Amino acid sequence: MTHRDKVTIEDVARAVGVSRQTVSRVINKGPNVKEAVRERVEEAIARLGYVPNLSARRMGGGRSFLILAVNDRQRTLENWKAGRGNDWVDQMLYGGMTECEKEGYHLVFELIDTDPQLAPVQLSNSIASLRPDGIILTPPHSDNEELAHMLTQRGIPCARIGRRAGTDYVDVFMDEIGAAEEAVRHLLREGHTKLAFLAGSPEYGTSQKRVEGFRKALEEAGLGADAGLVAKANFHFDTAASLLNDMLRGPDRPTGIIADNDEMAFAALHVADKLGLDVPDELAIVSFEDTPGVRFSVPPLTAIRQPTAEMIASACASLIEISRGKDAVGSYELPFRLIERDTTGAQRTRS
C-alpha cells in the first residue's frame, strides 16, 4: 500500500531481473514462460503493487479493455429530466459492470442520438476517442443497420440487444413474439375477450415484434381482428394515459391491457383509478419490463420480466471473448418470465 507512486512494467522487470516483455507475457497470461520465472514475476507484481496502465496497453497493443454501451440519448435524458429515473440503465450497469470487472475490463456508458444523421457521427467520435474493444448497441440503436455495419467494417466487435438477425454480430435477445403471446394467452385464460396493446415506438424493433406476437396469439385463439387494439403511445406515461382515457370509456372497451413498458402500465393504473375501474376485476394489466419500481405500484404489476442485466452481461462476455481472439459471434436467446402479481388474476369467471 505504501508503494512508490507509479510502478511500471520496467520496475517489475528490474526487480526480477528479466525483460519487460517477459513481465508482459506474465500479465497477459501468454505462453512460453518458465513456471519458475512466472512465479517470481507474479510475486514481484504483488509486492510492488504493479497494475498495468490501461492507456499504455492500448497504445502498445491496440486493446483498450473498454466495453462501450450505447443508449438512446433522447429517451434516457427525457426520463432523467422528468425525474423518472431509468431502471433500465441501472440494470445494464449491473449486468455489464459485474461481468466486465470479472475479466479486468471496464464498462463505459454513452448516450447517442437516434437521428440517422447524428448517430453514426457520434458513435464514430466515441470510438475514435475511446477505442473500445467492443460495443453494445441497445434498442433502438440495435436496429440501425448502418451502425452495426460501420462497426464491422472497422473491425470492432458489436453486440446488439433485442435483435436476432445477424450472423456477423453478437445478438442477444429474448423471444419478444413469444413473450407477447404469453401475455395475451394469460389474459385470455382469465376470460378476457377484448385486449389492447399499448405499443412503444415503431422505431424499436422489439416493439414491432411484440405487436406481432400480440396479433398472432389473438388470431391463434380464433378471435377476430377487432378483439385486439393496438395503440401507439411512444413509451410515455402521458400519451398512454390520454389514449386510454378515450379507449376505456366506450361500452365495448377492452378489459385487458398489455403495455410495452412499465411506465405505460402505470398510466393504465392511473386511468383505471380515475375512471373507477377496479384492477384487476374490471381491467387487467400486463406490463413488459419489470423494473424494480413495479413492486411499489398499487396494485403491484403483473409483468413480463426482461432479462436486461443478463443480456448485457452476456453481451459483455461475448465481446470480451472476441477481443481475445476467440469466436463468440452468434445468437444468444435469454428466457423471459411472466411474473404474476396483482394486476391480473381476478377472482371470478367471465361469461
Partner DNA sequence: TCTCCAATTGAGAGCGTTCACAAGAAAATA
Partner DNA sequence: TATTTTCTTGTGAACGCTCTCAATTGGAGA
**In what order do the strands lie in the sheet containing 337-339?**
228-232, 195-199, 256-259, 284-289, 302-305, 337-339
Taking CB under 7 A as the rule, does residue 45 contact DNA? no
Give residue 348's region: left, alpha or beta (phi > 0; psi -120 to 50).
beta
Q: Is 61 in the site for DNA (CB under 7 A)?
A: yes
SS3 labels along 6-51: CCCHHHHHHHHCCCHHHHHHHHCCCCCCCHHHHHHHHHHHHHHCCC
Does 291 contact a copy of itself by CB under 8 A? yes
Q: Which lies closer to a copy of itself via its Cβ, residue 176 or residue 262?
A: 262
Rounded to a whole number, what is the distance in angstroms from the first to the last CA of the chain? 74
* Long-range Cβ contact pairs of 27-31 (< 8 A, separation 24 or more): 27/52
The C-alpha cell of 199 is what?
405499443
* Least Å from the CB of residue 7 to a copy of itself: 7
Number of residues in contact with DNA under rule CB under 7 A: 30
Question: For residue 66, what is the enclosing H or E element?
Answer: strand 66-72
- Tell which one of 64, 261, 287, 318 touches a copy of itself (CB under 8 A): 64
Which of 80, 102, 249, 326 touches a copy of itself by CB under 8 A? 80
102 versus 324: smaller Cβ distance to DNA: 324
Confirm or reject binding of residue 91 to a copy of itself (CB under 8 A).
yes
SS (H, E, C) 197-266: EEECCCCCHHHHHHHHHHHHHHHHCCCCHHHEEEEECCCCHHHHHHHHHHHCCCCCCCCEEEECCHHHHH
Binding letters toward DNA, positions 12-41, x by CB under 7 A: -----xxxxxxxxx-xx--xxxx--x----
Q: Which of 93, 221, 230, 334 binds a copy of itself (CB under 8 A)?
A: 93
Instruction: Give the torsion sign (CA, 243, 245, 248, 254).
Output: positive
Per partner kind, with CB cut-offs from 5 to 8 A, the member of DNA, a copy of itself, none near residue 106 is: a copy of itself
335 binds a copy of itself (CB under 8 A): no
Q: Which residue has the cell 431502471?
A: 87
DSSP-assigned letter for residue 286: E
The closest of 51, 20, 22 to 38, measured between CA atoms, is 22
Give which of a copy of itself, DNA, none residue 25 binds (C-beta under 5 to 8 Å, depending on kind). Answer: DNA
Q: Per CB under 8 A, which of residues 37..56 are in contact with a copy of itself? A: 49-56
Contact between 349 and a copy of itself (CB under 8 A)?
Answer: no
DSSP-derived letter for residue 347 is S
| Interface mask toward DNA for 93-122; x: CB under 7 A | ------------------------------
Question: In the structure grid, which three cell numbers stand for residue 31, read together?
Answer: 505462453
* Binding flag, residue 129, a copy of itself (CB under 8 A): yes
Q: How far is the CB of 325 from DNA (least distance, A)?
A: 9
Distance CA 285, CA 33 (A): 62
Q: Is 84 in the site for a copy of itself (CB under 8 A)?
A: yes
Q: Does 29 bind a copy of itself (CB under 8 A)?
A: no
Smallest gap from residue 87 Cβ to a copy of itself (A): 5
**Is beta strand 228-232 parallel, antiparallel or unpaired with respect to 302-305?**
unpaired
Question: What residues numbered 140-179 form the site for DNA, per CB under 7 A?
Answer: none
Candidates 33, 107, 151, 177; binder of a copy of itself (CB under 8 A) is 107
Contacts with a copy of itself by CB under 8 A lie at 1, 3, 5-7, 49-56, 58-59, 64, 77, 80, 83-87, 89-91, 93-94, 97-98, 101, 106-109, 111, 120-121, 124-125, 128-131, 154, 266, 291-294, 296-298, 309
Contacts with DNA by CB under 7 A lie at 6, 8-10, 17-25, 27-28, 31-34, 37, 50, 52-53, 56-57, 59-63
